[in-house]
Amino acid sequence: MTKPLVVVGDSLLDIDLDGTAHRLAPDAPVPVLDDLVESARPGGAALAALMAARDGRDVVLLTAVADDAAGERLLGLLGSQVQVVGLPADGTTPVKKRIRAEGRPVVRLDSGGVTGRVADRPELVARALAGPGAVLVSDYGRGLTAVPSLMAELTAAIRRVPVVWDPHPRGADPVPGARLVTPNAAEAASLCEGVAPSSSPGGLGAHAAQADALVARWRAQAVVVTLGDRGALLSYGSGVPVVVPAPAVPCLDPCGAGDRFAASAAGALADGRVTAEAVQRAVADAAAYVAAGGPASVTGSTGVGDAADGPVGAAGVAADVSARGGVVVATGGCFDLLHAGHVATLRGARRLGDCLVVCLNSDASVRRLKGPGRPVVPAADRVRVLEALECVDAVLVFDEDTPVEALRRLRPRIWVKGGDYAGAEVPEASVLGEWGGQTVALPYLEGRSTTRLVEAAATRAPEPAREHEEVAR
């Protein structure tokens, strides 16, 4: 039985009020918002817990719960997806309300709070932390990490399982020995005032110096400073830091990206990944979350991922481009041993619209189509190679023999096939017709073929005996 991910921290209720703004008020230079639409979602630790649950994990959320309408609404948004262990709290549930015009924030209104008034219930804390696969502490500085029994249980848990700590300047210091602490750049700078090379304030040198200092201060195993669209910098306290660049994605609303990062890192560590691998996964997932619309991908959605064995966000990228009136182009294939012919087709496809999504056959799908010796390159690596191409905006892995169902999710305006399909009837064409899309063929570069590459490699490979003789000489 899989052990749950336990998320410990302060939960909030996030509310967006979205409207249209076409005029200013007559009595003040402020926009008048019409046609307001309200949407609500969990925030803080509750958001991290929900996203981890939608990754397919069993999740326990240990949090402070106030007895009010906002708290009841917050618990209702989590539903049965997350097991909530609530510590009674005085005060009111923190509510963060954003007023937005055309999707852009105009003002934020914060209310409520239970700082310093969380009841200590040792039996509840011990039950929540009885047997986790990993622990994520999502500290928003609202009092939960001041509970004595909680800190004692976390100190004990840190010797058994990975603990990821997402800190806050007003919160508690991480328990010594945390596997990974995840401040953002502003938090790291405020915690390490004056610790930065004077030649590079805000540069990688400054972030590295601050991360090294925080590893020592917190006695953590590692600290990763998240850098927004620049990725993240990972330090083990000395030596050369690891920098994980973020993929370039459209960013409409980054709210919650830090929670997505922390939840992914904790989940990866629970799966047995080493710290650097966990940070890589977290950077990719946070970027995909932002590309999928950020909070919009959580509100009223069943998840933020497109495929378990590939990067997430392809459907979100396509939806965003379509919403802005752009042309979504998609193409598909195995892309095993990527060659110049593939690149030419992908570049040509991208020039037909405003984004290109590649529908990629899974390993099982490739074996059914190509035989037991294929693919040569597994899906995870094929995804990485495709995403590295500037002309590819997103990749969606599908397991069926044809990409028909994947296309129904993406709803591209244009579906591109290789030149050998010119004039042929293909099943995707009728599917594209459901929403007025068009299937087209692009010419291949002559003589380029993955099958020929595989056969040539097999023909040219040295015989094992001769190879041994050459080594012996």
* C-alpha–C-alpha distance, residues 397 and 358, integer Å: 8
Cβ atoms of residues 287 and 394 within 8 Å: no
Q: Which residues contact 377 (CB under 8 A, 6 or more apart)?
A: 336, 337, 385
Catalytic status, residue 67: no
Pick the catalytic residue from 259, 285, 306, 363.
Answer: 259
Q: Which residue has the tokens 């007559």?
A: 26
**Phi/psi at 345 (nearest 5 deg)?**
-65, -45
Distance, CA of 445 to CA of 190 (rounded, Å): 55
- Note whether 17 and 98 are within 8 A (CB): yes
Local structure of 421: helix, strand or coil:
helix
- Full strand arrangement of the beta sheet holding 328-333: 394-398, 355-361, 328-333, 414-418, 438-442
Q: How many helices (H) and strands (E) does the chain have?
A: 16, 18
Strands (E) in 128-272, as ranges, are 134-138, 163-166, 180-181, 223-226, 232-235, 242-244
Judge whether 108 and 96 are in contact, CB under 8 Å. yes
Say if residues 235 and 241 touch (Cβ distance below 8 Å).
Answer: yes
Hey, which residues are catalytic here?
Answer: 259
